[in-house]
Amino acid sequence: MKFNGNVDCTHELDVEYANWGKPLAFTSWPEAISTGKVDQPIRESQSFDQQADNSCTGMRWEEGAVTYFRWQGANAMACTQQEIEACLSGKNKNCVKHAVPYSNQKGSCTPGTTSCIDTPITDAMTPSMNLWSNAPPKGIWGEAKLTLGAFHYFPGSSPAPTPVPPTPSPTPPPKPPSQPRCCWSAWGTSDVCGLYPSGKSGAGCNTDWDKTCNSNTDCATVTVHV
């Protein structure tokens, strides 16, 4: 396993600056066992021409996705969560963003290359910032300066809770007929036999259609006053 500084080139989400080549790069290093080959981890890196200057640079890590971003900002006060959302949504046209591409097929990426990560990163990662000041092939050192104006952590937005539907009002009981009757068919108003059920046969009380009867007196109800 090769080490760079105090990191081992795994479990990293890197923002990288350099004073040679393309000065900005975003690199993702998931766990090394994704290839099983020493010194040849699966990683993905994308470089850009943007200088550090006064800029807001960061990353968003959420389940199944890693996205890096960078836009020009006058100072640290310009690096707000609202501006991050504007960048990632495309409203900020001056924003550079890079979503890590996944092949979604384990073992499909070539070990040691920088163009592919096979499966979405799920293990714990370390956000890092690197400043490279020596250029290949001779590794000549050159002066490089980078000032960190501020560091912000914004938690991911939680989905809005599903609203609880209101409890429906109970259906009021039907108004009892004013004239208890024994009915053999539907006729008249609801106060007599107008609500005789369709498909029913035989006599039934208009106060309780499941109650059989022979005369109106069988359907009389008793009111108890307490």
Least confident of 111-115, 191-195, 217-221: 111-115
DSSP 123: S
Q: 58 forms bridges with which residues in the sheet?
A: 69
Q: Could you give the dihedral angle defined by the CA atoms of residues 62, 66, 67 and 68, in that order, rounded to the nearest 10 degrees? A: 110
The 3-class secondary structure across 66-104, one letter per residue, is: EEEEEEECCCHHHCCHHHHHHHHHCCCCCCEEEECCECC
- Rounded average pLDDT over 137-142: 66
The span from the CA of 150 to the CA of 29, in Å, is 24
Prediction pTM value: 0.59
pLDDT digits (tens, 9 = 90+) for 33-79: 455 566 666 788 888 888 777 889 989 888 778 899 998 887 888 88
pLDDT digits (tens, 9 = 90+) for 15-34: 888 877 788 888 888 865 45
Helices (H) and strands (E) in the chain, counts: 1, 11
